[in-house]
Amino acid sequence: MLFNFGHIPKTFGLFSTAVVALRLISSSSVVMAAEQQGDPKTAQTVYEFTANNIKGEPVSLEKYRGHVLIIVNVASKCGYTAGHYKELNELYDEFAESKGLRILAFPCNQFNNQEPGDAEQIQCFLKDRKVNFDLYEKIDVNGKSAHPLWQFLKNKQGGTLIDAIKWNFTKFIVDKNGVPVERHGPNTKHPLISMPKPTRRKTPPTFAIPSSAALPAAAVLSA
């Protein structure tokens, strides 16, 4: 199966899987946050959940309906911090406007206490790095105190050997219907697109894509 894509950034790196699902419907509607959370065991989409943004304000994930999402746990003092924030910024800058990609970053201090700061300190850290995507309140992603959204993500896309999040910068790709379709750890190098050396060209290059069985997000694309 062949799909046509436009220019792909040179530093696409670990997030090449996101391109597979970047055929989106733009949505301008914002739904007010609901008080109740979805049940992580029975919920079908991320739209059933609410999370507090970095200012402590509840946000219904219904606001992201029709968008492809990258949901990621982040930390300010991790060895992966600089590289992953750089690539997340580049992804967002490349595809937020043109394709409607949304990135939801959740600070987490469960891995070697690498996100020790409070909300104000985290915001200052990310402001210096010119992060423009959506930042949420610091949460737990594992254990009994894990946020219901993250319980749901782990239920839908389990990990290798265990479903628990193993480290910072674990990424879940959510399709435009709100369904988690892929999960990637911070070390994952699994490009689902065979990319030639990036060049500027008038005609978008054609990329060979594996079968839909290997690419659950391919269902949201059209040739």
What pLDDT was estimated at residue 9?
43
What pLDDT was estimated at residue 36?
64
What pLDDT was estimated at residue 149?
98
In this prediction the pTM is 0.73
What pLDDT was estimated at residue 37?
85
- pLDDT tens digits along 39-76: 999 999 999 999 999 999 999 999 999 999 999 999 99
Residue type present at position 38: G
* Nearest-angstrom CA–CA distance, 29 and 100: 13
Just list the catalytic residues: 78
Structure tokens at 146: 């894990």
* Nearest-angstrom CA–CA distance, 110 and 29: 34
In the chain, which stretches have pLDDT less than 50? 1-13, 15-35, 190-223
What pLDDT was estimated at residue 198?
36
Q: Which domains occur in the chain, in start order?
A: 14-189 (3.40.30.10)
